[in-house]
Chains A and B, each alone.
Chain A
Amino acid sequence: GAGVSQSPRYKVTKRGQDVALRCDPISGHVSLYWYRQALGQGPEFLTYFNYEAQQDKSGLPNDRFSAERPEGSISTLTIQRTEQRDSAMYRCASSARTADTQYFGPGTRLTVL
C-alpha cells in the first residue's frame, strides 16, 4: 500500500507569510507525528496525535506553530508569520498504534526568505 505522503515537497515563502504543510498517513494508522529535521541531523519531535486528539505538543517551538488532525487521518502543520529560522525539513510519520514502528514521509523542505 501507499506510504506516508507529504505536500508540498518544497515550499519557498517570504518572511511573515503563513504556511500550511500537509501529511497523509498510511491508511488506518492511529498515530501521526510531526518532526523537524536540520540537514545532516536527527529529527526533532514537534507534536503527535492519536486519532484526532493531539496527545503531546510540547515540541512545538512557539505559538506560531500549530497542528490539527480533525478527522483522525490527514494532518496539517501550520506556521504563522514565518521567520527565517523556521527554514528546515518538516517530516511526518505515522504508526499503526501508539509506540509502534513509525514510518516516515519524504518531508517538506521549507525555505523562508
Chain B
Amino acid sequence: TQLLEQSPQFLSIQEGENLTVYCNSSSVFSSLQWYRQEPGEGPVLLVTVVTGGEVKKLKRLTFQFGDARKDSSLHITAAQPGDTGLYLCAGALERTSGSRLTFGEGTQLTVNP
C-alpha cells in the first residue's frame, strides 16, 4: 500500500507550458516536503510545508499544502528544459516521531525544448 500517491507518474511537455503534480494520502502529515532528483544523484530538497493551507513560492514553482494536511501540489509555470527531473513528495506522518520520511513514487518530468 502506497501511503503517498503521486500523479501523474510521467509527464512530457513542451517548454513554456504549465504543469501541476499532485501528492495525495488518506493520512495526516505533520510536514510535507518536495524533492527534485536528477539522474545519478540523490534527492535535493525544494521546499517544506508544515501548516494546512500553506502556499510557498520558489521562483516559477508554487507549492501548496492541503487544509487537512493530507495532500499537496506542485505547480510549475512556464516550464524550462532545466526543470526536467524526478519530482518526489515526502511526508512525516503525524503519528510517528516525525523523522521517518514516507516518499511518493515520484513524477518523472521531461520538458522538451
Contact = CB atoms under 8 A, between A and B. Distances in A.
Contacts, number: 61
B11 interface: no
Contact of B98 (A40, A41, A99): A99
B99 A99 contact: yes
How big is chain B's contact interface, by range? 20 to 34
A102 B101 contact: yes
Interface string A33-73: 10100001111110010000001100100000000000000
B98 A98 contact: yes
B48 A106 contact: no
B28 interface: no
B105 interface: yes
A55 B103 contact: no
B97 A56 contact: yes
Contacts of A91: 42
Interface in B1-43: 4, 6, 31, 40-43
Contacts of B88: 42-43
B59 interface: no
B73 to A, nearest CB: 17
B110 to A, nearest CB: 12
B86 A40 contact: yes
A6 B98 CA distance: 25
A4 B86 CA distance: 20
Given A40-B106, A42-B105, A106 B97 contact: no
Given A40-B108, A42-B105, A99-B31, 9 more contacts: A40-B86, A42-B106, A43-B101, A45-B100, A48-B100, A55-B97, A95-B99, A98-B99, A103-B42
Top 8 A-B pairs, shortest CB-CB distance: A104-B42, A42-B103, A99-B98, A42-B88, A98-B99, A42-B106, A41-B105, A43-B103
